[in-house]
Structure 1
Amino acid sequence: MNKFFHSVSLIEELCSGCINCIKRCPTQAIRVRHGKACITKEFCIDCGECVRTCQNHAKVINRDFIKCLNDFEYTVALPAPSLYSQFNNINNITDINAILTAILMLGFDDVYEVAAGAEVVTAATKDYVNDHKEQWPIVSTACPSVVRLIRVRFPNLIDHLLPLHPPVEIAAAAARKRAMEKTGLSSEKIGIIFISPCSSKVAYIKEPLGMEKSSIDRAIGITDIYPLILAHLQEASLSPLDLAIAGRVGIGWGRSSGEALALETDEYLSADGIENVVHVLEDLEDEKFGDLRFIELDACSGGCVGGVLTVENPFIAKTKLKKLKEALPKRHTEEHREMSYDDLYWKVDVVYEPVFQLGDNFIESVALMNQVNNIYEKFPKLDCGICGAPTCKALAEDIVKGNANENQCIHILKQQIHEISQDATTFANDSAINNTNTPDYIARLKKYINQIAMLDNDLNREE
């Protein structure tokens, strides 16, 4: 079963079989089996935590590179707001224009800021939140990993999702329209290329929310394009083109709380970092929050500036973006504000995907869950991860699914070895004073040999 497209994948030969990634994955999508990590694709939400955690660089993000410009006759770059925070001494619109000019020097024909799309979405969100009090608190859908997390783990919260396309999609649609009008080329000859800070937005392009097909054609990571821009930045700074169209409202989206603050309300909650996001969603599902209008959730610490495809320390990047935002006008231009609200809303419903469901129906699921609980009670509940599963409960579920066995728990294995050792010692003592050639002796000896062989088998299967 593979319900989603994934940008994160594993290079098996680089994996050392450590358990760092299984402890960090928010959806318990990773196991270590036969000395190598493996990703359960239907559980993965492409948050990139395993990429960030892996010291062996065995987890990678499948993305495009600058050579993808050759796939189209005309290309438009979509820089994320977080891109600006990766450079030093970026303090005003002129400095932003220098970055955008440097992007054109790489071979792009045009550039369109994602921050401009964020300003359009901000205006639409304000109206939607005010008009839909029955959905309060309304949860942002700007982070694809958060939306996918809700779809697979928190089905009761789907009705709280903001049914608007994210800023990158709005910017892509506007950029394509402008390019077609400017060049007279057909849509398929124009390449809209997103400069992405994270893995989840790379995955989003292949499987967008609320629509059949994204307006974005390719995605290049900030980490890949940053040195190329840097090489041209000094020259671009000498005579920057007037390319910037967004102000502080849109650029503020690059850091945590930026989206919520743009709504100009105090009745909001903002959380960043995938572990914190999970805690907020659990409490929201338990209805622990009071009168909130809006909830902004970012899978990456610090917001998009903390994306796994960025280069700057996220805390420094947040400070840079805050300083830049304060120096900008609220909106730089109004040319991107003409999009109809009808173009912003989902056209395809976002639905629950029960990937964690054990059985095919309720009765079967309950029966299997009882089996899980019975097996779980045998375990020490230490969640040590040595078995290759992130928790004892996860190992119990794997056993019920037929993907593991109890002896993968080192504590159970040690107990079995201890019991065999005690029994064998007693048998050896008895044999010393009794006739060792009896059928009973031979039978018991074979029993111990078989038990030891089975334990050795279990150990070898995991090595």
Structure 2
Amino acid sequence: MVEYFHSVVLDKDKCNGCTNCMRRCPTEAIRVRNKKAIIIKDRCIDCGECIRVCPYHAQQTQLDTLDKLKKYKYKIAISPMTLYGQFSLDKDMNKVFEGIKMLGFDEVVDEGYAADIITLIIRESLKNNKQPKPLISSLCPAVLRLIQISFPSLIDNIIRIESPMELAARLARKNAMEKYNLKSEEIGIFYITQCPAKVTSIKTPIGIKNSNVDGAISIKQIYGDIVKNSNTAGKTEDFVMASAYGINWARAGGQSKSIGVDSYIVVDGIDNVIKVLEEIELGKLNNIEYFEGLACVGGCVGGPLCVENPFIAKSRIRRLSEKHNDEIKVSKEYAMELYNSGFACWTEEIQSKGTMKLDENIVEAIRKIEKIKKLTNLLPGLDCGSCGAPSCRALAEDIVRGYGKIEDCIFRD
């Protein structure tokens, strides 16, 4: 089995063991041992919550740099829908895209254009969809990973349609190969990302064998250069941009509003997503047609690699979509052709990842579960984190696994 890539990494030299990241990790993937944080890879979903809360910037994202562009003959940048919210409403996005192009790219593709296509596909596919309800959006890779680990019974609910990022990359590669007679390996496609989960989905994608994206550069890395370039750019080309529907995908609720579904739930913030997924798993929301779950508060505009305040960015996206109020430029026939041919769909089944097994032997695993329960009852139940685990239950599990000892609890004699 190929080891799962994680974009979130720890710089131990910067970490002082403050436990902020451990307390905020939604999947209890972090421990503090010997005054240093440790990431348990089997639990991590790369949501970036630890990056957001670390005061010492010890949690970081593995990203590419612009130097990687030199490897390719033809370079394409995919500008995220989120980027619309990083600039004031009076900013000419043609100049922003030109500013990206001036960084060394031959072409800039708007991810929102792919979101327009997927909007049309979902609208049509919902009419005769036979999957269990509610259908779960495939937009957020952190939520998909969460389902793989903690809610495998809901895998069948996930809609089998690609994310806008991946579809944009597929279309861009295909068009460049046909237009310029290029080989696939001569084309480098880079996503300007707002979150580490997108980086992970490029390296180890869900639903496909290999991503069409070759690398990821964060908005934070190049934002200053984009601003500088856009301010000095002269005459620019008219880039193909998203409609109001595609732009709206950047904020929580924008996707559901764009596809026009009547009965849906929008949940942002990974802790809130977990709570609602629990309700879905218990069968309490079978009357809901669509579930839009996003790991970041506010949606993609709340990604930890953005520069703008997420609430300001979310407001801008909303106002911009209302201001544009234009129809999707893509035909429904073209969108459904991409869907029916499989071009816009997943090609692989999603497998349950599951959290770490207690034991391969089912009898021994049950015995360990009972031991964890007994140890949990012996602990004070304060979940103070002083032991280096996020909760008393987590410490009990660590003890059974051999990663901790009951003496780690400072309240035990």
- TM-score, normalising length: structure 1: 0.85
Contact kept? 2:117, 2:330, Cα under 8 Å: no
1:27 deviates by: 0.7
CA deviations on 1:151-203 (whole Å, 9 max, x unpaired) are: 01011111111111111000000001111122211110110111111000011
Over the matched positions of the two proteins, sequence identity in percent amounts to: 41
Structure 1 residue corresponding to 2:263, chosen from 252, 267, 273? 267
1:149 maps to which of 146, 150, 169: 146
The equivalences for 1:304-383 within 5 A come to 304-331=300-327, 333-334=329-330, 337=334, 340-341=338-339, 342-383=342-383
* Larger mean Cα displacement after TM superposition, 388-397 or 319-328: 319-328
Gaps of 5+ in 2: none
Show the 5 A alignment for 1:2-401: 3-90=3-90, 95-236=92-233, 238-331=234-327, 333-334=329-330, 337=334, 340-341=338-339, 342-401=342-401
How far is the alpha carbon of 1:124 from its aligned partner?
1.6
Contact map agreement 1:84 1:90 (CA 8 A) in 2 = no
CA contact (8 A) 1:152 1:356 kept: no
Is 1:129–1:294's contact at 8 Å kept on the other side of the alignment? no
Count of aligned residue pairs for this structure pair? 409
Residue 307 of structure 1 aligns to which amino acid in structure 2?
A: G
Q: Determine if contact 2:116/2:328 at 8 Å carries over to the other structure.
A: no
Contact 1:122-1:263 within 8 A present in 2 as well: yes
Distance 1:129 1:15 in 2: 47
Report the Cα distance in structure 2 between the residues aligned to 1:311 and 1:134, rounded to whole angstroms: 38
AA matched with 1:306: G
Q: Residues of 2 paired with 1:386 and 1:90: CA distance? A: 50
Structure 1 residue 207: Cα displacement: 0.7
Q: Contact 1:66 / 1:225 at 8 angstroms: preserved in 2?
A: no
For 2:243 and 2:149, locate their aligned partners in 1 and report how far apart those are by CA, in whole Å: 36
Separation (CA, whole Å) in 2 of partners of 1:128 and 1:26:
32
Amino acid corresponding to residue 358 of structure 2 in structure 1: L
Separation in 2, partners of 1:276, 1:185: 45
Q: CA deviation at 1:305?
A: 0.4
CA separation in 2, counterparts of 1:60 and 1:29?
15
Contact 2:194–2:306 (CA under 8 A) maintained in structure 1: yes
Greater share of helix: 1
The one-letter amino acid paired with 1:200 is: A
Separation in structure 1 between the aligned mates of residue 2 and residue 16 of structure 2, nearest angstrom? 26
- Which amino acid is the alignment partner of residue 276 of structure 2? V
Q: Give the 3 Å change call, closer, same or farther, for CA 323–107 of structure 1 in structure 2.
A: same
36-45 vs 125-134, greater mean Cα deviation = 125-134
Q: Secondary structure at the match of 1:27?
A: coil
SS of alignment partner, residue 6 of structure 1: coil
Counterpart of 1:366, as a letter, is: I
Residue pair 2:280, 2:286 contacting (<8 A) in 1 also: no
Compute the displacement of 1:129 (Å): 2.2
Distance 2:74 2:126 in 1: 38
The answer for unaligned runs of 5 or more in structure 1 is 417-463
**Deviation at residue 357 of structure 1 after TM alignment:** 2.9
**8 Å contact kept, 1:165–1:209:** no
- The AA in structure 2 aligned to 1:370 is E
CA distance in 2, matches of 1:249, 1:170: 16
Note the C-alpha offset of 1:362.
Answer: 3.2
Secondary structure of the 2:324 match is coil
Deviation digits for residues 260-314 of structure 1 (CA, Å, limit 9, x no counterpart): 1111122000000111111111111112225111000000010000001100000
CA distance in 1: counterparts of 2:261 and 2:381, whole angstroms: 44
Local SS of the residue matching 1:411: coil
User: Contact 2:134 / 2:286 at 8 angstroms: preserved in 1?
Assistant: no
Q: Which residue of 2 aligns with 1:406?
A: 406
* C-alpha distance in structure 2 between counterparts of 1:16 and 1:382, whole Å: 23
Give the Cα separation in 2 of the matches to 1:78 and 1:156: 33
Please give the alpha-carbon distance, in whole angstroms, between the structure 1 residues aligned to 2:367 and 2:121.
46
Change (3 A) 1:160 1:183: same
Q: Aligned to 2:4, what secondary structure does the other structure show?
A: coil
Deviates more, 1:196-205 or 1:351-360: 351-360
1:345 deviates by 1.7
Q: 1:184 to 1:110 in 2, by over 3 A?
A: same
Q: Is the 8 A contact 2:245 2:328 kept in 1?
A: no
Kept in 2, the 8 Å contact 1:2–1:42? The answer is no
| Backbone CA RMSD of aligned residues | 1.6
- How far 1:205 moved relative to its partner? 0.3
In structure 2, distance between residues paired with 1:327 and 1:83? 17
